[in-house]
Structure 1
Amino acid sequence: MTDSFVTYRSFHEALKDLPPEQYGKIMFAINEYALNQNEIELSGVEKIVFTLIKPQLDANLKRQENGKYGSLGGRPKKETKNPMGLETKNPMGFEVSENKNPNVNVNLNANENLNLNDDGDGEFKDCEIFEKNENPCDEPKNQPSPPSTLSDSQKNYSRIVFDRFKNAGLPCQKGDFFRFQSCDFRLALQKLRGYGSDDVIAAVDNYISELKNPESYIDKEFSFDAFAGSKTFLNCLPANYRPNNFKKFQKDVPKGSQTEKPRLFKCDKCGRISASWSEKLMKWQCSECGATFD
């Protein structure tokens, strides 16, 4: 039990747009946990937000405990480091910038380092609590971390992208904008560095247009995070986009082979449509990855 605890602006920024009832439940849970170490049972959005904040509360409690122990003339308690073999650096997976003069120009690529967590005790894997079957967020460890909070401009763009994905029937956290913004969009930002926001929106529009085109070979429905890291995204950017590049093509089977009727080929391995007849194998062979077709 303690008489006071530290709160942060990032807590307020994360909660201020929630309905009053949800805001009240989360703030009560934060106060109860920080002051009395009593974890209130929550569900839904309340549980999601509290789970994101809880590691910082634990870190503050640990510092308070060590401070009390040291004030008695003893050394702060020493705990077993990394008992579970987890990475202990940057536990929330948010990027920490040492730049004292950050670029304040707002665009889709901006990463405002309003770090929700300033300590290194424990680890949190992004989006573990969201729908794992729809959009698992298993990010490679060597990739830069997504921003902890979004700027106003980024929030506006997240709404634009969400509306397009939802209207097109694409994966978007089952139509839950809060989850889409917190998971899919936030994770996609780290992959979109260097791309202008207008180009990204245009790529989304081109992608959706090709999905609706029966003559297009694109048939995979990506989440926004997966789309941002795919070759399809690169091909849909305005500088690269050519509608004819996505059209299916027909190729005649050489005489003397299994059939002389035209056939359509799409490689199950790499997803590209680019095949040639191999006289040696007597099969069609993908010119992109070498996979064969009967």
Structure 2
Amino acid sequence: MVGDVTFAGPIAQPRQAWLDRLSVWSDRHFKWLLVAPAVLLILALSIYPLLFSIWVLFVNYDFQVPGHAFVGLKNFRQVVTDPIALRSLWLTVVFSAINVSLEFLLGLALALAMTRTFRGRGLIISILIIPLFISPVIVGQAWALVLQRPFGPTNYVLSQLLGFDVTIGWLTEAPWNYIAIIIADVWQWTPFMFVILLAGLTAIPPNLYEAAELDGVDGWQAFVTITLPLLAPMMLLAITFRLLDAVKLFDTIFIMTNGGPGTKTYTSAFYLYTLGFTQFHLGEATAGAWIILVLTAIVITFLVRRLLREEIA
């Protein structure tokens, strides 16, 4: 026993010192150790697909063609020179601009109407934000049923109101199919703008309006000189977030028109889906996705810089 104690002492002291240093280090970095597993998992799930997609960009990754031969920039050329790709990009820009603009204007109008307290205000706000909690697939299916000819009630109601027979093909005829998609998207996402803008309006101090009223400033002047400047950061924030999501419009189109007739309602997201998962040209679809990513990043970076400038000011 004496021999054991004699030899264990010198070994135990360095080991205990190392454990003490480890304990001190873990206490100092405890918060980072808690999040480290989640960070490593996220990095593993994001970096690997990113690196894999970069490799797919430059090879012939097609399920119908054996092997993965190096093709350089051919995938990019195929997408850039494809008239359907260019048209889908243009349609994405148009849809995004119209949808976000309408949603912003309607959301701002609703937010201004809901700033004052009145009986039933909470119930009305609850009803207005219901579309936010509905899946875009369900929204598309619901509006397809409402607008579909001849079973949907839309044409019948219009016929009764206008006094003549209305037979509009809302899902198959231009420009009605575009209008139908815009209606469905605006109906679902206007509450998003409404909630953010209402939060911004309620944060404006009421004493500013009281002082303006004492100075003889009317409602419109108060809106221009007080509301708009103070609400501008929230406006830009709402537009940025909504625009980032609007360029990915897919679910509603998939359900309502399935990109048709033909390719008339192809957005960039629907085009890439068709190219990659229907025609199995994964190399070209990945190249197209990177092009959309870069274009979207440029626009969003500009908006975020404007937003940060507003916050600093």
TM-score class normalised by the smaller sequence: under 0.3
TM-score scaled to structure 1, two decimals? 0.21
Higher relative contact order (CA 8 A, sep 6+): 2
- Greater share of residues in helix: 2
TM-score scaled to structure 2, two decimals? 0.20
Mark the structure with the bigger radius of gyration.
2
